[in-house]
Structure formats: C-alpha cells, structure tokens
C-alpha cells in the first residue's frame, strides 16, 4: 500500500541533500569544534557556515544565532533566560492561550518561581488581538511571547503589530517560529522580534537541533552551564552534523520558499473545498485565509479524532488529531478549547499538514476515502441520528 504522509507539522522527512551535507561530519570530519587542530577547526568552520545560513534566512547576523538541542529548548532559553536576567526590572510575562507546551509549561514553571503570567485569550480563529497585548502591559512587564503561527490550527498571528507594541513599551518580544521557518517569510526585523525560536526538523532538517535568535544587546541568562561553546550562551559540545543539516535545510528553504508556499496554498484550498463539499457537519479550525499554506485542520461532529486517525492509518494515510505532543493525551487540545470549541467537537478534530512531497493525487485520494471513514464511524455513533 502506498503511504501518504500528511503530518509535516509533527516532523518532516529529511531532504536528501541535507542528509548528504551531514554525512561527512559523522565520519571523516568528526572533530570537536573546540579542538585547535585541523579536525576541530573544520567542524567549527562548518558550524559557522550553518549559523550564517540560518541568520540569512531570518534577516539576522550570525552572532545573534545560538544553536540549541531543539525548538523546545530554544523557547525555554528565551523565556527563562529573559525572565531571570531582567527580574530586577519586573516579573510580569504576557503570553497567549494557544502557545505550544514548550512556551506554556515554561511560563507555568516561572509562575511557580514567583513570576506573574498573563495568558491572553484568542478569538474563534485562534488570533491574538494586538490591542489585548497592549492592555495587558504593566509597569512590571519584561517579556511578551506570542507564536508566529499555531502548530495545530495553522493561524498566523499579527506578530509585527505585537512586536511594534512591545518595542514602543521597551519590553522584550519573543516569538516561536518553529512552524513558520522555511514555510512563510520569517524576518526578525519585520516581525520586530528580540528572540525567535526555530527547529530544524520542521523544515526538512534533522531532529534534535534548534536555534534561538537573540537580538544584540538583549539581557539574557544562559541556563545550560558548562563549557564556553556558543560564546558561553549554551554550553555542551555542539551537535555538528545536526547543525550542518540545519544550515543546509535553511539554504534550501531560502531557494524554494516562495514557489512551495504558492503550490501548497493552492493544494490546501483544493483540499478544504473538497472536504467541505463532500462531508456534512464539519468545520475548519483556525483562520480561513490567514493560515499556514500547508495546514488543513477540521472538526468533525459525532466522531472521535483518534478513530479517524486510526482508520486513515489503515488506508496508509498519516494524519493527526492536533499537535504531536498531544498524541498520547486524552485531554482535548488546549488550542481548540481556547478558540471556543466545546469539548465534544475538540475531540473530533483532525489535522492534515502537507509538505514538499505531497501531491494533488495524494489529496484526491484522501478526499476519496475520508467521507466513507466518517460515514462508517458515524453509523456506529449513538449521537448521530441522520
């Protein structure tokens, strides 16, 4: 059976050119970048080139990019690092109800440490209102953290407006760009971000490597202590092959982003139209137009998301009920609940995220099989009366 992968927001397959770029750094060029002999210096040069490539993709300078072990770590570093470094100025942090757990759990941790956190609501599309951000600012606010686009429902947030408000108020602004890098434009100057978190495995790079952009002059405390790597901002021997892969993925993204975003937007619209015309009682989650080019998230009445995912899997189709992190949780998605969906509809959500190797034939195949799957599941549901 042909497998159709439609969970690119959970992780992307690695681009063959990324794998090729990484390979020498596992074997021939295995040196420790901190070593002063040539093996070490070769590795260091490769890291610097990757840093330049990622900085180029986000409009930053190389020295403003710090490699981390993941997007989660980059979010933790940004939020804890700014919170602890600026505690003498204030202890208030603003975030939103639809952030990834990497942000929300970090804020919860800081709350237990005595910081005050304001978690802003969102509208029915999952959009944060810049005006709400402005109103939430107090004399004690030191950090605002709002994601560039949501991983579950695909809504793109008004980040440059929020960044402008933060800048006017002289408050640090962090944005989680894990789902946007390589998919839509991410420019730290246009977004007015002081900190921006990214992760390689969402743009055809390897897992286990991320980066945090830190605008020059930002007061931030490192939270991994040890050696002097990353200019003392993140200790530990660098993941050289991973970083090289991330650099290559960024280089390829720069070349392909415009064309790919256009292709996926057309495919996404075709997919949404097909779903809406062939299945009754379903609704789109997230914003109808201001959404990621690759995201199709729906909620389906009278059916459990898990049942749809498992039945699709039997047909060789990989989709998800929401975020990868909630795959093993029975709680409905905090994002869907924040958009005002009742629990039963949040439980019936299904997310398809497309990517580089998704074709129109793949989408047409899903459009052929999904109505039958939903009809069978509804036939077994005591709640479905039609």
Per CB under 6 A, residues contacting ligand PLP are: 70-72, 75, 100, 102, 147, 151, 176, 178-179, 199, 210, 324
| In the complex, least distance from residue 213 CB atom to ligand PLP, rounded to whole angstroms | 14
Residue 325: active-site member: yes
Write down the H helix ranges in 62-217. 71-85, 101-112, 130-136, 159-168, 188-191
Rounded Cα–Cα distance for residues 8 and 113 (Å): 35
Which of 107, 119, 318, 325 is an active site residue? Answer: 325
Of 71 and 242, the one with the shorter C-beta distance to ligand PLP is: 71
CB 220 within 8 A of CB 80: no
Of 76 and 311, the one with the shorter C-beta distance to ligand PLP is: 76
Of 71 and 332, the one with the shorter C-beta distance to ligand PLP is: 71
Unique residue bearing structure tokens 């897992």: 207
Helix, strand or coil, per DSSP, at residue 136: helix
| In the complex, least distance from residue 103 CB atom to ligand PLP, rounded to whole angstroms | 7
Q: 117 is written with which tokens?
A: 């956190």
Of 70 and 155, the one with the shorter C-beta distance to ligand PLP is: 70
Rounded Cα–Cα distance for residues 245 and 205 (Å): 6
| In the complex, least distance from residue 99 CB atom to ligand PLP, rounded to whole angstroms | 8
| In the complex, least distance from residue 102 CB atom to ligand PLP, rounded to whole angstroms | 4
Helix, strand or coil, per DSSP, at residue 314: helix
Angle 328-304-367 from CA coordinates, rounded to 5°: 105
DSSP assignment of 298-330 equals EEETTS-HHHHHHHHHHTTEE-BSS-GGGTT--
Of 33 and 69, the one with the shorter C-beta distance to ligand PLP is: 69
Q: Which residue is nearest to ligand PLP (CB)?
A: 71
| In the complex, least distance from residue 264 CB atom to ligand PLP, rounded to whole angstroms | 17
Active site positions, annotated? 325
């Amino acid at each position: 059976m042909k497998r159709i992968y439609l969970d690119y927001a959970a992780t992307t397959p690695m681009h063959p050119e990324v794998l090729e770029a990484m390979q020498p750094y596992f074997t021939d060029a295995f040196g420790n970048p901190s070593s002063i002999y040539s093996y070490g210096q070769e590795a260091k040069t490769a890291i610097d080139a990757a840093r330049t490539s990622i900085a180029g993709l986000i409009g930053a300078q190389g020295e403003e990019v710090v490699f981390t072990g993941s997007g989660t770590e980059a979010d933790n570093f940004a939020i804890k690092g700014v919170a602890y470094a600026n505690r003498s100025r204030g202890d208030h942090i603003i975030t939103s109800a639809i952030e990834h757990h990497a942000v929300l759990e970090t804020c919860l941790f800081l709350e237990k440490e005595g910081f005050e956190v304001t978690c802003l609501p969102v509208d029915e599309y999952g959009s944060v209102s810049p005006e709400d951000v402005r109103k939430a600012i107090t004399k004690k606010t030191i950090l605002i953290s709002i994601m560039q686009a949501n991983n579950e429902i695909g809504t793109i947030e008004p980040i440059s407006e929020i960044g402008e408000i933060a800048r006017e108020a002289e408050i640090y602004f962090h944005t989680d760009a894990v789902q946007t890098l390589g998919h839509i434009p991410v420019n730290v100057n246009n977004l007015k971000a002081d900190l921006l978190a990214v992760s390689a495995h969402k743009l055809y790079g390897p897992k286990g490597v991320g980066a945090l952009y830190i605008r020059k002059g930002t007061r931030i405390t490192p939270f991994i202590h040890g050696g002097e790597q990353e200019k003392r901002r993140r200790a530990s021997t660098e993941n050289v092959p991973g970083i090289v892969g991330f650099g290559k993925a960024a280089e390829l993204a720069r070349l392909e982003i415009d064309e790919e975003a256009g292709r996926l937007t057309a495919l996404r619209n075709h997919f949404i139209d097909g779903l809406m015309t062939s299945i009754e009682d379903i609704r789109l989650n997230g914003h109808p137009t201001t959404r990621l080019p690759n995201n199709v998230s729906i909620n389906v009445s009278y059916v459990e998301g898990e049942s749809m995912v498992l039945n699709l899997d039997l047909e060789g189709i990989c989709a998800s009920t929401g975020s990868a992190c909630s795959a093993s949780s029975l709680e409905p998605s905090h994002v869907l609940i924040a958009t005002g969906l009742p629990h039963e509809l949040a439980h019936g959500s299904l997310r398809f995220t497309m990517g580089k190797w998704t074709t129109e034939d793949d989408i047409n195949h899903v459009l052929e099989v999904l109505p039958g799957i939903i009809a069978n599941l509804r036939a077994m549901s005591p709640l479905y009366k039609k």
